[in-house]
Amino acid sequence: MKNIDWKNLSFGYVKTDYNVRCYYRNGEWGKIETSSSEHIPMHMAATCLHYGQEAFEGMKAYRGKDGQVRLFRWEENCKRLERSAEAIMMQPVPMEIFRDACFKVIALNKDYIPPYGTGGSLYIRPLLIGTGAKVGVSPADEYLFIIFVTPVGPYFKEGFKPVKMQLARDYDRAAPLGTGHVKVGGNYAASLRAGVRAHKEGYAATIFADAKTKQYIDEAGPANFFGIKNGKYITPDSHTILPSITNMSLRELAKDVGLVVENRNIPIEELATFEEAGACGTAAVISPIEVIHDRETGKVYQISKNGEPGPWSQKLYNYLTGIQFGEVEDKFNWCTVVPC
């Protein structure tokens, strides 16, 4: 175990010992390689640099109550990376390569997995980029798949505490028929200006309105939005929203604890009616929302009335993290024990 202040980890980059890489060349994928370098040698005309051929994933491995290391729903991340690759004309990574690379990089860096009870986890970042040199606008003929890992704490410094968010209508994260539904870097680049402004103005993150009408809730910055009222778990339905694996899991858990799940358009004005709301994703798991401030109209939607997470959000958070840390029976078979 490394000498790290595990209980005070932020969500940031900490150097680990190894990453793993696999190249697609001459029409086929090669073998998984191990590297201790943090750098990627690359042709200056690589398509990832010029034409945005880049996709990535975010995953976590957890050291459980029983000492075992669990990887959460890796198959879903693999499928989503495949959808991202197909959307921007990259070569998809075969599932067996994705799996073996994940297992290998976790085992190689097992000393960086935070101990059980610290609240930390090992964040896993698979990355697929076009490395083939092109000057004309066309897909690359060579690709690099790489996975690096880093130990992390909470995504928001508040941890599992309600945060304030800003609703932005003057920026779009993704176009209605664009790439919002896949996990590619361009979506995040498009969200940066609104996100930085929100931070400067005292908010944890931006919530985007839909790009077409500006009347509905879309993404919650780097996460999916959900609201709870009248025994219902409600989350937006939109082609411009990235299908969160955490949100997918929470919908299953919501049904299991007795909530009705609705996946539909959420008018911005409906925010005033929610008893609870949150942003959910791999990084934050659930970040309860205290206040949403509509920057354009000045309207303030007060969600949390006492500055504490709502009872349903707390129950769902405990259920999901309990499965991830081996505290609760994994009856959905979401976790894979990684030998290391």
- Annotated catalytic residues are 183
Of 252, 250, 222, 220, whose CA–CA distance to 236 is shortest? 220
Of 57, 59, 56, whose CA–CA distance to 121 is shortest? 59
Q: How far apart are CA 57 and CA 81, in angstroms?
A: 7
Rg from Cα positions in the chain: 20
What token pair was written down for 1?
């175990």
Contact (CB, 8 A) for 126 and 56: yes
Question: What are φ and ψ of residue 262, in 5° steps?
Answer: -125, 125
Q: How many CB atoms neighbour CB 254 within 10 A?
A: 24
Q: How far apart are CA 338 and CA 115, in angstroms?
A: 15
What token pair was written down for 76?
């879903």
Contact (CB, 8 A) for 83 and 75: no
Contact (CB, 8 A) for 316 and 56: no
